[in-house]
């Protein structure tokens, strides 16, 4: 029983590994070894920074094909986090336009820089901090978490899925309704950082560790 956190060179994976170790008994390994990833019971696809770099590193480390395989493996739960959620979509408008893994139809868009609050002050981009997550559809990963709970975000781009059935959670920022939790079959992906979202985040990770889709 092992959880593999896929290390394709983008971002800080130690926080998520520490949080997974905290909530479960399964061994957590940070790895880019294809055999170790294939042999794991569940997989985390993280991602930080620019999406072009994330997609590029995924190809360079020859893990892109493997990730595509994992996405269609109904027995292996996969959790995407942050850019790991965005990469599952068809296309991102970041970096002048980047083709993504195309697992879920939809786009990754940028928050409008000119949004203001009720008093006319600009809304900052990145969207950084604790925002409410409205649960759009039921999902085993929401178990024990109330709709409207706040999770920790830091991002400038957000997912907009085409198919309502793939949207499990939304968050409002300015006039945007971001699809911050998406998924299908054994895949669940979130824009926020559950590993940094205190009790509710740990609860979601615990649900993932026990998820048997």
Partner 1 sequence: MSLAKRIIPCLDVDRGRVVKGINFVGIRDAGDPVEVAKRYNQQNADEITFLDITASHEGRGTTLDMVSRIASEVFIPLTVGGGIRTCEDIRALLNAGADKVSINTTAVTHPEFVREAAERFGSQCIVVAIDAKQVSTEGEPLKWEVFTHGGRKETGLDAVEWARKMVEYGAGEILLTSMDRDGTRQGFNLPMTRAISDAVSVPVIASGGVGSLDDLVAGVKEGGADAVLAASIFHFGEHTVEDAKRYMADHGIEMRL
Tell me if residue 121 is catalytic.
no
Q: What is the separation of C-alpha 41 from the centre of its chain, rounded to a whole number of angstroms?
A: 18
Q: Is 181 helix (H, G, I), strand (E, B) or coil?
A: strand
Pick the stretch among 32-40, 69-77, 148-156, 161-169 that binds partner 1 (CB under 8 A): 148-156
Q: Does 120 bind partner 1 (CB under 8 A)?
A: no
In the complex, least distance from residue 47 CB atom to partner 1, rounded to whole angstroms: 10
Q: Does 112 bind partner 1 (CB under 8 A)?
A: no
Pick the stretch among 31-39, 63-71, 94-102, 188-196 that binds partner 1 (CB under 8 A): 188-196
How far apart are alpha carbons 186 and 29 in whole angstroms? 20
Query: Which residue in 112, 117, 143, 185 binds partner 1 (CB under 8 A)?
Result: 117
Surface-to-core class of residue 117, CB atoms within 10 Å of its CB (0-12 exposed, 13-18 middle, 19+ buried): exposed
Surface-to-core class of residue 126, CB atoms within 10 Å of its CB (0-12 exposed, 13-18 middle, 19+ buried): exposed
Tell me if residue 193 is catalytic.
yes
What is the DSSP secondary-structure string of 18-75? HHHHHH-SSEEEEE--HHHHHH-SEEEE---S-HHHHHHHHHHTT-HHHHHHHHT-TT
Q: Does 144 bind partner 1 (CB under 8 A)?
A: no
How far apart are alpha carbons 156 and 112 in whole angstroms? 9
Q: Which of 57, 82, 136, 206 is catalytic?
A: 82
Q: Does 61 bind partner 1 (CB under 8 A)?
A: no
Q: Does 128 bind partner 1 (CB under 8 A)?
A: yes
Q: What positions carry a catalytic annotation?
A: 82, 193, 195
Binding residues (CB under 8 A) for partner 1: these are 11-12, 14-15, 18-19, 21-22, 48-50, 113, 117-118, 121-132, 150, 152, 154-155, 171-174, 193, 195-198, 201-202
């Amino acid at each position: 029983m092992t959880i593999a956190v896929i290390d394709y060179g983008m971002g800080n994976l130690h926080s998520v590994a520490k949080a997974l170790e905290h909530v479960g008994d399964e061994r957590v390994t940070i790895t880019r070894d294809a055999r170790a990833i294939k042999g794991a019971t569940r997989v985390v696809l993280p991602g930080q920074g620019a999406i072009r770099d994330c997609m590029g590193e995924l190809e360079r480390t020859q893990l892109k094909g493997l990730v595509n395989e994992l996405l269609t493996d109904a027995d292996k739960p996969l959790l995407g986090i942050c850019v790991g959620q965005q990469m599952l979509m068809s296309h991102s408008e970041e970096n002048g336009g980047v083709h993504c893994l195309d697992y879920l139809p939809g786009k990754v868009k940028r928050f409008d820089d000119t949004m203001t609050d009720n008093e006319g002050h600009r809304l900052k981009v990145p969207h950084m901090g604790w925002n409410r997550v409205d649960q759009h559809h039921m999902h085993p990963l929401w178990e024990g978490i109330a709709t409207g709970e706040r999770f920790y975000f830091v991002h400038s781009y957000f997912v907009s899925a085409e198919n309502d059935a793939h949207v499990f959670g939304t968050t409002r920022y300015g006039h945007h309704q971001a699809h911050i939790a998406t998924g299908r079959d054994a895949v669940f992906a979130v824009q926020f950082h559950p590993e940094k979202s205190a009790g509710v985040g740990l609860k979601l990770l615990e649900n993932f560790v026990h998820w048997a889709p």
